[in-house]
Amino acid sequence: MKDFKEILKQAGITVTDEQLATVETEMKANYKPIADYNKQKEKLDASDEKVKTLTASLDKFKDVDPTALTQTIENLKGQLTQKDEEFAKRLADRDFDDLINTNINTLKGKNVKAIKALLDVDKLKQSKNQAEDIKTALEALQKADDSAFLFEPTQPQPQGSFNPIGGISTPPVPSNYLDEQYKNNPYYKKG
């Protein structure tokens, strides 16, 4: 790109330094450099391209009915809410069943299904303190005469140390008993 000074010299116009300084000052004030022009042109081209793209995208929605689209969105929101509620209910049921099963296993119940059948499940589900109420209901079933057979009987642990009749007692083994047994074996090493 040629500088305006070179253009003036090629045209055969001689300019003094004062005239040159004045022209430069006026050019800086009134004209933009080519680099600024190119930047603005690129921005304008990008904006034009964006407008074309957006117009093409909007043309796809010419035949769309906004009220039908709104109705579809509302239906989908309703279905999503229904699925969320169903999922939350399933999670709560699973947690409740796990809580019952854990408590039955803790109390050594023999048949989980039979024990669950004897519980008032609806009442326990609505309880505010489910864990405590389930434990209380299961303990009541365990102590009741007609349902005690569903649980392993709790056997009292013997107190103190004694050897029951017929029990096998083993004498303590000395730590060096092998030394005595293999004292004549040349390959035996004391460990």
Cβ pair 148, 142 in contact under 8 A: yes
Q: What is the model's pLDDT at position 13? A: 85
Instruction: Answer whether residue 54 shows pLDDT above 80.
Output: yes
Residue 103 pLDDT > 90: no
Burial class (CB in 10 A: 0-12, 13-18, 19+), 137: buried
Cα 148 to its chain centre, rounded Å, is 43
Instruction: Answer for the pair 99, 138: CB distance below 8 angstroms, yes or no.
Output: no
pLDDT at 159 (0 to 100): 66
Query: What is the pLDDT at residue 52?
Result: 92
**Cβ–Cβ contacts within 10 Å for residue 103, how many?**
18
Q: Inform me whether the pLDDT recorded for 167 exceeds 70.
A: no
CB contact set of 182 (below 8 Å; sequence gap of 6+): 188
User: pLDDT grade, residue 160 (50/70/90)?
Assistant: low
Among 91, 89, 121, 88, smallest CA distance to 104 is for 121
| CA angle, 12 then 15 then 19, to 5° | 150
Mean pLDDT of 103-111: 84
Can you list the alpha helix ranges (DSSP code H) found in 127-191? 130-143, 177-181
Lowest-pLDDT range of 97-101, 121-125, 162-166 = 162-166
User: Mean pLDDT over residues 152-169, rounded?
Assistant: 67
Q: Return the percentage of the chain with pLDDT > 90, whole number.
A: 17
Answer whether residue 90 shows pLDDT above 90: yes
Residue 100 CA, distance from chain mean position: 27
pLDDT recorded at residue 151? 78
The per-residue pLDDT for 157 is 66
- Quickly state the pLDDT bin for 80 (edges 50, 70, 90): very high
Question: Is the sign of the CA dihedral 161, 162, 167, 173 positive or negative?
Answer: positive
Length of the chain measured in residues: 191
Which residues, in sequence order, are CB contacts of 188 under 8 Å at separation 6+? Answer: 178, 182
Most confident of 123-137, 142-156, 165-179: 123-137
> In this model, does residue 1 exceed pLDDT 60?
no
List the structure tokens of 109.
């119940």
Q: Which two tokens mark 188? A: 């035996």
pTM, two decimals, is: 0.47
Do 151 and 110 touch, CB atoms closer than 8 A? Answer: yes
Q: What is the pLDDT of residue 166?
A: 65
